[in-house]
Structure 1
Amino acid sequence: MIAAEQVRAFRGMTRAGTRSVLAYRGDLVTGAITLVIQVVLAIAVWRTVYAGRAPVNGVDARTAVAYASIAACLQSVLLPWQFSTLPMRIRTGQIATDLTRPLGLMWQVFGQNLGVLLARLPLGLIGLAAAGVLGALVAPSGWAAAVLSAVATVGGALIAMLCNLIVSMVTFWTFEVSGPLIVYRFGSAFLSGSLIPLWFMPGWLRGAVEWLPFQAQVYTPVSIYLGQTRGGEAVALVAVQLGWLVVLTLLLELIWRRARHKVVVQGG
C-alpha cells in the first residue's frame, strides 16, 4: 500500500515537472528557434571546416556534421539551465514542507527532473528534424550500435540529472546557486563533447576528460550511434556510465545526509 502511494506520488512529481515546462510556451518557442539556429550554424561551420579536406583523425565531413547536429539536440534536452526548483524551495523555506511528505525529497526532485526532461524532448526532436531537412543526419552504423546508443542515451540522461542535482544541493550552504550552475553548464557543455567531439581534442586533454562523468552525457551515446566507438570499446563506455551512476548516487546520498543536518541547524 505504501509502495503504491509512493509510486503515485513519484508520478505526480513527474507530471508537475512536465507542466512546469509546458506552462511557459513562449520559452518553448524561443528554445526551439534557438536550437534550430544552433543546429543550422553548427552544420554550416563544420561543412566549411571540412570543405575540400580529407578525413581528420579518421572522421569524415558527413560524420562530423552529423555529430555536431545530434550533440546540439542532446545538449538542449540534457543540459537545461536548471532541472528542478530545489534551490528556490530551499531559499523560500518550502523545503520544510517537502521533508514532511511520504515520498523522500531526493525522489521528489528526481521525479520533477524527469518530468522536465520529458517535456524538453520535443525541442530535441525539432532540432533533429531541422538537421534532417538539411541532410545532416545519418543512419546508425548497425542495429547493435542503435540499441547500445539508446541505452547510453538513457545513461547519459541519468548522469546529467544527478550532476545537476548535486550542483543544486550547494544551495543548502550558499542559498544562491546561480554561479555554480553557470560554471557547471558551460563546463559540462565543453567537457561532454557537445561542442567539440573528444576525438578532436589533444591527447592530454582527452585523457583527462575521459576520467570525468561529463563525456558520458553526450559523447558516449553519439559516438556509439555514429560507429566511431565500436565493439568492446563501446561496451566499455557504457560500463563507465554505470560506474559513474553508482559513484554519483553515493555522492548525492552523502551530500544529502550532510544537508539534512544543515536544515535542522537552521530550524527547518
Structure 2
Amino acid sequence: MKAHLACARMEFRAALTYRTAYLSSFVMMLLQIYLLTVVWRAFYDGRAEVDGLGLGTMTAYATLTTLQYQLVSPWRSSPIDQRVREGKVAVDLLRPVGFPGQMLAGQLGWASAALPVLVVALPFALLIGAGQAPASTAAGFAYPVALAGAVLVNQLLGLLLGMVSFWTLEVSGALMAYRFVAQFFSGALVPLFFMPGPVKAVAQWLPFQATAYTPAAVYLGQVEGAGIAVALGVQLAWIAVLGALAAFVWSRARHRVMSQGG
C-alpha cells in the first residue's frame, strides 16, 4: 500500500507541475457548464418540465456531471503507451510493485490533482450553472460512494486501453474513438433518460454510464430507494469485471514487453 501511495503522490505532483494546462482545463470546464446551461434553457423554451424533469434539475445535472467529470474524464489517458514507446516500462517492471498496480495508482493520483481547483471553481460553476442539495439524506450518503465507484470504473477502463499499446505501441486512434464513445454513453452530455429507447438500452449495458450518469442520478434523486443499491451494485459488478479483465490482459501483455526506445 505504501508503494502504491508513493506512485499516486508522484503523479499528483506531476499533474500540478504543468500549471498552464492544469488551470486551462478548469477554464474550459466553466465554459462547458455555461454553454450546456444555455443549451438546456433553449431546449426547455419556457416549459416548466420535459418528460417530468424540471429545468432546474436539468441544469443542476449538467453542472454536476461537468464538475465530477474532472475526476472521471475519458480525456485523461493512461501513461502506459508513452512508457512502452520510450522503453520506460522496463524500469517499471523492475520495481517491487506489480505494473498494473503502479499504473492504476498513478492514474488515481493524477485524477486527484483535480480536487484542489474543483473546490475553488465550485462557487463559479454554481454561479454560471445551477446547483441543488442532494435529493434526500440517502442520496447525500450514497453520492460519495457512487462517485468513488465512477472513478474506479473510469481508471480501470483507462488501464485496459493503455495496455493495448503492448501490441500496437500507439493507441491514439483507439483513444479518439474511446473518448467519443465514453463521453456520449456516460450521460455526461445528454442524460440517459433523454436518450432514444434503443440508444438508452445500449448505454445501460455499457460500463460508461457508471462513470457519470450513476452518481449524478443518485445525487439528484433520479434513482431512489432500492434503486440506489442496484445502481451501486452495477458499479461494483463493473469494477469486478474490469479488474478481472485487466488481470487477464496483463497476463498476456507482460510476455510482449520489449526494450522500445530505451
TMscore range, shorter length? over 0.9
* Shift, 1:77, TM fit: 2.2
1:197 paired residue among 182, 188, 191 = 191
Find out whether 1:60 has 2:54 as its counterpart. yes
* Shift, 1:82, TM fit: 3.1
Aligned partner of 1:161 in structure 2 is 155
Alignment of 1:52-201 (within 5 A): 52-79=46-73, 81-134=75-128, 136-201=130-195
TM-score (ref. length: structure 2): 0.94
Structure 1 runs (4+) greater than 6 angstroms displaced: none
Given residue 253 of structure 2, which amino acid in structure 1 is its aligned partner?
Answer: A
Alignment of 1:238-253 (within 5 A): 238-253=232-247
* Shift, 1:127, TM fit: 4.6
* Shift, 1:203, TM fit: 1.4
Task: Write the deviation string for residues 144-179 of structure 1: whole angstroms up to 9, x where unpaired.
Answer: 001111111000000000001101111001111111
Deviation larger for 12-21 or 79-88: 79-88
Stretches of structure 1 that go unaligned for 5 or more consecutive residues are: 1-6
Residues 193 and 218 of structure 1 are in contact (CA less than 8 Å); yes or no, is this contact kept in structure 2?
Answer: yes
Find out whether 1:235 has 2:229 as its counterpart. yes
Flag the 1:39–1:245 CA change in 2: closer, same or farther, 3 A. same
Residues 77 and 123 of structure 1 are in contact (CA less than 8 Å); yes or no, is this contact kept in structure 2?
Answer: no
* Shift, 1:126, TM fit: 4.5
Identity of aligned residues (%): 40
Stretches of structure 2 that go unaligned for 5 or more consecutive residues are: none
* Shift, 1:135, TM fit: 5.8
CA distance in 1 between counterparts of 2:241 and 2:121 reads: 32
* Shift, 1:130, TM fit: 2.1
Given residue 91 of structure 1, which amino acid in structure 2 is its aligned partner?
Answer: R
Given residue 107 of structure 2, which amino acid in structure 1 is its aligned partner?
Answer: N
How well do the aligned residues superpose, as a CA RMSD in angstroms? 1.7
CA distance in 2 between counterparts of 1:138 and 1:25 reads: 31
Flag the 1:123–1:186 CA change in 2: closer, same or farther, 3 A. farther
Between the two proteins, the alignment pairs up a number of residues equal to 261
* Shift, 1:123, TM fit: 4.2
Aligned partner of 1:3 in structure 2 is none
Q: Secondary structure at the match of 1:257?
A: helix
Given residue 155 of structure 1, which amino acid in structure 2 is its aligned partner?
Answer: G
CA distance in 2 between counterparts of 1:160 and 1:191 reads: 13
Residues 70 and 128 of structure 1 are in contact (CA less than 8 Å); yes or no, is this contact kept in structure 2?
Answer: no
